[in-house]
Every structure is written in C-alpha cells, then in structure tokens.
Amino acid sequence: MRRPTLRRSSVVGALALPLAFALVGSTEAASAATPKTSYTVNVVGYSVVSAVYSKLEAAFQATTAGKSVSFNNSFGASTTQAGDVVAGQPADVVNFSAVPDMQLLVNNGIVASKWNSTGAGAAEGGFVSDSVVVIVVKPGNPLGITGWPSLIKSGVQIVTPDPISSGSARWNLLETYESQIIQKKGPAAAAKYTNALVKNVVAEPSSGSKALTQFLSGTGNVLLAYESDASAAVAAGKAVKIIYPAQNIVIQTPAALTLTANKGAKAFFNYLFSPAGQSIWAHNAFRPTLKSVATATKSLFHPYKAAQLTTIASLGGWPAVTNKFFSTNGIITKIERAHGWTS
C-alpha cells in the first residue's frame, strides 16, 4: 500500500525540482536587473537654485550613473542653510550663494579645506554658476528706472533681502557701493549713495526667493535680485521688467561635497560641472562656469565688459570684503543699522 505513495512523492519531487530551479533563475535575473546599491543624496542650497536642481536631478537620474540615486533637498537663505548644516542637517552636496557660507562648513570640519582646488569644479575654482545683480520693476517701468542713479529718487520703494541671512542681499548691497567706485566717485560718495539707497528700502525678507515673492505680491516698486531669479519670473509669465545696470558684480556661487558624501553624491557632483549639467544651468539663466559651455551659451545672457564688473578678487577676497563691509563696524552694517534694519 505504500508503493504508490512513494511513486507519487517521486513524481512530485521530480516536478518540483525544475520549478525550484526556474524560481531561482527568475530571482537571479530580477536581482541582476535591480541595482545592488542605491544612494540617497542630500542637497542643501540657497533658495534661488531650488527649481534648477529639480531639473538637474531629473536629468542625472536619466543617466546610467543616476539610475540608483534619489534626492532629499533643502533650500533657503544661504547663511541660514549653512548654519543648519553645522547644526546637524544631513548634507552631501552643498551649494551656497557666497564663499563665507562655505567657509563656515570648512571651519567646522564638514567640507574639505581644498574643496575648490581638487576634483570636479577645480578648474572653475569651485564655482558651479555665476550671476549678476538686476533691477526688477513693475510692468511698463512707471518710475523710469534706468540703473543705479534712479534708485535713490523720491518715491522709489526697494525690496532686497536681509544681509544677515541672505547671500543675495550681500551681493546686492556690495554692488550698490561698488557701482560708485567703478564710476570713480570715491569711498565717501559711495557710502553716501549706499545710505541713500538703503533709505529707500521698504522690506528685507530672509532670502532672495522670498524677496521676489513679496515683490510679486505687491510690496515695493523695485526689487534687487539675481539675474536667474528675475529671469525665471519672466519665463513664468510674471508681469515684471528686468533692468540691467551699467555697473555690476560677478556673483560666484560655490558648490562642494561634504566629507561624508556617498558615491551617488560624488557622481551627481561631477554631473553639475559636466557639459550636460552646465548646459542645464545656462538654459535656466544661471551663467555657466565651464568655459566651453559659457562660450556656447554666451548669446543667452546680457553682455558686460570687464571694466563694468566688480569681482571679489579685485576687492581683496572675501575675508577683506567681510571685514570692510559686513563686520560689526562694516560700512554696510553701519548703514543698515542707521536705518533700523539691524540691531
């Protein structure tokens, strides 16, 4: 009576073995099709780059190197963001609006001291994109704003970010002063002009993006902004006009990897400085720093002659600029304080 049972067991076993091998084979095939390692990349940056990073990340994820990479993003006022990273916010790729915010991370052992001289971006000095300051006005330019001289007229109400939290604000106010120096008017005249301009400031939001939002909501009649942020507003159909002042400053925005960055973050960081990545920057109104792309996309941007541009290098570097303008007794700090913007 047991023999049929044994034969049945043998038959079942014989059928089960090919099925088992088939299952193993399909599992191995599925495993081979799925990346063995995935990476989550934490990107922390200044507010204005939020939209372009969404495009950069999507384009990178379409590449072989980016298929197993996902992103967590945090964007806000540059100096505030840098402070948050020091306080423990996860970060693999950081992109700030000015070097002092990056230096804060270097000083706290989060970013390497040679962040701008080794690896991707070294040829560009660690600057992933450039910009300039623009003057944004209402449709039709009712006040007849033409450049810096117009901004101290009666009736002008300026929105510009807070220089304590925003890199954009520091660039804006620095060029406010330096626009006069370029015109050979001297330090006393430059300080007088800057004081007159700050007297016309009616709002100082915490970041460049918030300043644009507040201006679009009806605050003030003139906005000082990044070229990229203003261009994005125009592209989105917002009713504004961009005025390019005759004198300007080269806004250099630094990017770096943190010391704990994973393999996915390193691949993405390389992409930011690649021709493909730099082209995305350019077509979103951020001036590319890779020379080949900058040359190819030159027609997308307002032309400036070198003599019309201030550079941080020409002012002695960021430590000298910070001490002269933004320290406790700095020129701009004292002017801001005189008009009640800082304590």
pLDDT in tens, 93-120: 999 999 999 999 999 999 999 999 999 9
In the beta sheet, which residues pair with residue 156? none
The answer on pLDDT for 5 being more than 70 is: no
| Residue pLDDT, tens place only, 130-140 | 999 999 999 99
pLDDT at 6: 36
The whole-angstrom separation of Cα 314 and Cα 301 is: 23
Residue 156 dihedral angles phi and psi, to the nearest 5° = -80, 130
Quick one: pLDDT at residue 1?
Answer: 40
> What is the CATH number for 202?
3.40.190.10
Average pLDDT over residues 271-281: 98
Position 277 scores a pLDDT of 98
Q: What percent of the chain has pLDDT over 90?
A: 89
pLDDT digits (tens, 9 = 90+) for 302-343: 999 999 999 999 999 999 999 999 999 999 999 999 999 986
Q: 3-class SS at 283? A: coil
User: What whole-number percentage of the chain has pLDDT above 70?
Assistant: 89
φ and ψ at residue 43, rounded to 5 degrees:
-105, 130
Mean pLDDT of 43-71: 97
Give yes or no: residues 318 and 216 share one domain.
yes
Integer distance in angstroms from the first to the last C-alpha of the chain?
99
- Count of C-beta atoms within a 10 Å radius of residue 15: 10
Q: Are 40 and 62 in contact (CB under 8 A)?
A: no
244 and 201 within one domain? yes
Q: Same structural domain for residues 68 and 106? A: yes
Q: Note whether 76 and 70 are within 8 A (CB).
A: no
Rounded distance, CA 109 to CA 222, Å?
40
The answer to whether residue 270 sits within a structural domain is yes
Q: Report in angstroms the alpha-carbon separations of 276 from 116, 265, 282, 283, 293.
A: 21, 17, 10, 11, 9
Same domain, 318 and 234: yes
Assess whether pLDDT exceeds 70 at residue 14.
no
Q: What pLDDT, on a 0 to 100 scale, did the predictor assign at position 343?
A: 60
Q: Residue 111 belongs to what domain range? A: 39-130+252-300
Residue 127, strand partner residues: 254
Mark 248-277 as b/e (b = at least 16 C-beta within 10 Å): bbbbbbbbbbbeebbebbbbbbbbbbbeeb
CA-nearest of 148, 162, 156, 159 to 190 is 148
Looking at the structure, tell me whether residues 122 and 137 fall in a common domain. no
At residue 284, φ and ψ (nearest 5 deg) are -120, 25
Predicted confidence at residue 11, as pLDDT, reads 37
**Average pLDDT score over the chain:** 91
pLDDT band at 15 (very low <50, low <70, confident <90, very high): very low
Indicate whether 19 belongs to any domain: no
Q: What distance in Å separates the CA atoms of residue 177 and residue 334, rounded to the nearest whole number?
A: 13
Is 211 in the same domain as 325?
yes
CB within 8 Å of 204: residues ≥ 6 apart: 159, 160, 161, 162, 163, 169, 211, 341
The model's confidence at residue 214, banded by pLDDT at 50, 70 and 90, is very high
Inside any domain, residue 10: no
Each residue's pLDDT tens digit, 141-163? 999 999 999 999 999 999 999 99
CA 116 to chain centre: 16
Q: Write down the pTM of the prediction.
A: 0.87
pLDDT of residue 30: 40
For residues 26 and 65, the model is more confident at 65
**Does residue 275 share a domain with residue 243?**
no
How many distinct structural domains can be found in the chain? 2
* Whole-number Å distance between alpha carbons of 110 and 88: 10
Same domain (yes/no): 85, 185: no
HSE value, Cβ hemisphere, 13 Å, CA-based, for 203 = 21
Q: What is the per-residue DSSP string for 56-92?
A: HHHHHHTSTTTTTEEEEEEEE-HHHHHHHHHTT---S
Q: Is the pLDDT of residue 19 over 80?
A: no
Say if residue 221 is in the same domain as residue 265.
Answer: no
User: Do 180 and 318 belong together in one domain?
Assistant: yes
